[in-house]
Structure 1
Amino acid sequence: MSEIREVFDELIIFIDEKRVTPGSIARAKRIGTHVYCHSTEIAFGWDLSAMVQACHCDWVFRFDYDEQLSPEWQQEEWRQLLETTEFSHFWCPRRQLVPGGRYLNAAPWYPDFQLRLFRTNLDAVVFPSKLHDQIRVPGPGGYFQHLAIHHHVLWLLPREMRVEKARRYEELLPGGGLGQNCLYEDYSPPTESLPEPVKLDIASELGWMDRLSLHEMSKLSLSVNGMPQKVSTSSWFWLEAEVTNGTDKSVGSFPPFPVRLAYHWIEAATRGTVIYEGNRTALFPSVHPNRATRYTMMIAAPAKAGEYILQTTMVQEHVCWFESARPDILQEFRVLVGP
């Protein structure tokens, strides 16, 4: 946390007295502006509203003990965004680090945008009441591209502790605890080395995606490779995807009309739709004009065994599927899904 103290004007630390480890309070007092101890009956029972009220600045950045700021936060230029923006809050991409100084660079672990930076003078902020809820802040929000958070829990905790954490998540929020994200080894997701720090360009740091015309959609193409012939039911797997952008604007997964990779599952025999709204994969970073960018596309297999056809495509949320503008963007792969 020492580098965080160098980035922000004040560092207020809240410690759960029932779960604190020896020496933590003393260390917190050495680096924090203020240290508050509180007690909850269950883990994740914090009163974020009371925590924010203890802050004296116009903006608050919330982070957890097992997180770290990316090096770009050390550049003072990011503060210009707070001085000139009309946004009330900002979302940060978060990388899940694993052993070897690498991170999981595929959905659902990345980019995992988190709403962490927001104004304190807003009356209508809604704070989470249950596990994995996001803070809801009124007004427009911005999405950072390089000002990121690094999450260390996957390598800090041994697997047996992460198994227990996943069990506790499921107990607190049945069916939605996302405990499987703690047990990444079970899915063999692709990893990547941490990127080199970049010089912030404030003019382009915030991502934004306008509505594409059908003509512009027709200038984007998608090539997908690496499809296995057989997969297990309900399994996750990843494909290599390359998006080529023939337009004069950057295309990415930012509001108000994010563009994402997507897919449909249909039955091979009848061509009847089994899953239409397949999981999304973010175009992050964006595909720049007249460039091609590679992505790792996440696919979830159907729960029922059988022979299927996977259709890969793209979608602009709140607008349309790309096959409406360019039917040949659909690629089909025949897949046997078994137990």
Structure 2
Amino acid sequence: MEFLTEYASFLAKTVTLVIAILVVLASFAALRSKGRRKSAGQLQVNKLNDFYKGLRERLEQTLLDKDQLKALRKGQAKTEKKQKKQHETKPRVFVLDFDGDIKASATESLRHEITALLTLATPKDEVVLRLESGGGMVHSYGLASSQLARIREAGVPLTVCIDKVAASGGYMMACIGEKIISAPFAILGSIGVVAQLPNVNRLLKKHDIDFEVLTAGEYKRTLTVFGENTEKGREKFQEDLDITHKLFKNFVARYRPQLAIDEVATGEVWLGLAALEKQLVDELKTSDEYLAERAKQSEVYHLHYAERKSLQERIGMAASGSVDRLLLGWWSRLTQQRFW
């Protein structure tokens, strides 16, 4: 126990020192960036066909002998020359990524990527969204879903690929796709709404502490953390949740009318295999498999709008990550628990 106490003390001093250094660096960066105009982001475009071609050629160079490789390259050159003469125009596939947190922060990049591709995309093309999200705030994922709806409204086919999870707000986004493709053990569903908060009013009363909540409007505040909650307030709060859930159900049913919406809108989740039976998805396949197949007949482009972060923002992100890793390492050593 004495070792743990000394270790905790050492760790606390280390964390304090690291934070102090990072605060000084952040302050310095703030002074340098003060008055500077924030740099705009940049759209990055990579042709995935070249990536797949590079993988294949590397393997061919390793496995084939000199004569076999020469014959193969000669045949490929003839095929490419023939295609150029015939002026074959391949359909285009635009690949987007959305890695969602609780605030759907990736929406900021997504909106610019969609704006860019809609200037060129036609109904003959396709947009593929690789989506990973466990959901989050209602209004944040509502906006993210509205951005995807722009693609549908423009008449451009939208395919959503889910390798790990698309639940709650994540599935709200996924259902907009004309086709949903899921890995066999991806997590899908959670068509429900949840809200929770602690209440410490009894603790305050125990210590003779008063807390007053003043409102103008009967339902301006229904449930609070510090005030005394009423049954009427709880009923109103539940009513608001039910209304939001109904809107969620109607939204999903609009884009996937084949669903038995009351059966799947219970807040439950299903793995891809079961989700296929529930018609939450249309096909079981990884995004890698799907895109590799599409690259055989199409020109596949990966789009990513990268925000140019200031030095202050980069230092802040590094500080946050460093502290998280330190605390996680300390806690895992003390408890011998594994974190996934």
**TM, length-normalised to structure 1:** 0.20
TM-score by length of 2: 0.20
Identify the structure with the greater helix proportion.
2
Structure having the larger proportion of residues in strand: 1
For the pair shown, which has the larger CA radius of gyration, 1 or 2?
Answer: 2
